[in-house]
């Protein structure tokens, strides 16, 4: 089993350093670089939670049987809101593990994406399902490459992930409304992080580009 720590994590951190260097050379402010780093660390957490630990059957010396692509594809659940595979689990488990956990997984994405990219309100309508489908697709591709059906690919997970993005963006819009309408920005010095947060909030409220 390949665990996320240390090597995949180290690779992700090295890539972050490279991206920060390129962004800084491109003129990005330190406020943006700080928020970008937080968002990147969150994405690494999503990768760790959805793809790792990763089985490596080709290193098992033939002790692990590889599954065929047809078998792995046959295990995909494409029935929305069908949790019959968990019929032996309690409703509390299904709600906490299969519904709430998947919503919470992507809620930070919906809240934080506007701080690192210019996202219009209508973009969320395609971005939310794209995130959910993207996570499940990565799990499917990993399983096909490794020849092991080690992660359940479920349309319900994609739906809950999409709802998490939408919920996170809704919270961001409430946050942006507060910043624009009520926060005492006249007390903040121009170089503080709060100014960048205000600019992002104003962009969300007025659909103007944020100043990086």
Give 145-154 pLDDT, tens digit per residue. Answer: 999 999 999 9
Does any domain span residue 2? no
Does any domain span residue 1? no
CA–CA separation, 142 and 147 (whole Å): 8
pLDDT at position 114: 96
Does any domain span residue 17? yes
At residue 200's C-alpha, the angle toward residues 194 and 201, to 5°, is 85
The DSSP annotation for 160-175 comes to HHHHHHHHHHHHHHHH
Q: Which tens digits make up the pLDDT trace of 6-21?
A: 999 999 999 999 999 9
Six token digits for residue 115: 């701080």
DSSP E strands, the chain: none
Number of domains in the chain: 1
Which residue range(s) make up the domain with 28? 7-206
- What are the b/e assignments for 4-30, b being 16+ CB within 10 Å? beeebbeebeeebeeebeebeeeeebe
Six token digits for residue 59: 């290193």
Q: Which tens digits make up the pLDDT trace of 101-120?
A: 999 999 999 999 999 999 98
Q: What is the CA radius of gyration of the chain?
A: 20
To the nearest whole number, what is the mean pLDDT of the chain?
Answer: 90
Does any domain span residue 23? yes
Does any domain span residue 36? yes
Does any domain span residue 26? yes
Does any domain span residue 211? no
pLDDT at position 139: 97
Q: Is the pLDDT at 206 greater than 70, yes or no?
A: yes
Does any domain span residue 32? yes
Q: Is the pLDDT at 187 greater than 70, yes or no?
A: no
For 122, residues 6+ apart whose C-beta sits below 8 A from its C-beta are none
């Amino acid at each position: 089993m390949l665990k996320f720590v240390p090597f995949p994590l180290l690779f992700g951190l090295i890539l972050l350093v490279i991206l920060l260097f390129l962004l800084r050379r491109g003129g990005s402010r330190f406020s943006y670089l700080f928020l970008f780093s937080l968002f990147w660390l969150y994405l690494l957490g999503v990768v760790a939670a959805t793809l790792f630990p990763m089985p490596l059957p080709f290193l098992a010396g033939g002790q692990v049987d590889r599954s065929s692509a047809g078998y792995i594809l046959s295990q995909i659940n494409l029935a929305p809101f069908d949790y019959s595979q968990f019929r032996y689990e309690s409703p509390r488990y299904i709600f906490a593990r299969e519904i709430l956990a998947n919503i919470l997984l992507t809620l930070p994405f919906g809240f934080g994406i506007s701080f690192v990219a210019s996202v219009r309100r209508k973009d969320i309508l395609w971005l939310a399902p794209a995130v959910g489908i993207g996570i499940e697709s990565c799990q499917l591709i990993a399983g096909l490459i490794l020849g092991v059906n080690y992660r359940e690919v479920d349309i319900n997970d994609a739906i809950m992930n999409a709802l998490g993005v939408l919920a996170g963006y809704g919270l961001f819009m409430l946050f942006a409304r507060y910043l624009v309408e009520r926060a005492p920005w006249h007390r903040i010095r121009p170089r503080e992080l709060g100014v960048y947060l205000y600019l992002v909030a104003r962009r969300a409220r007025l659909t103007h580009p944020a100043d990086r």
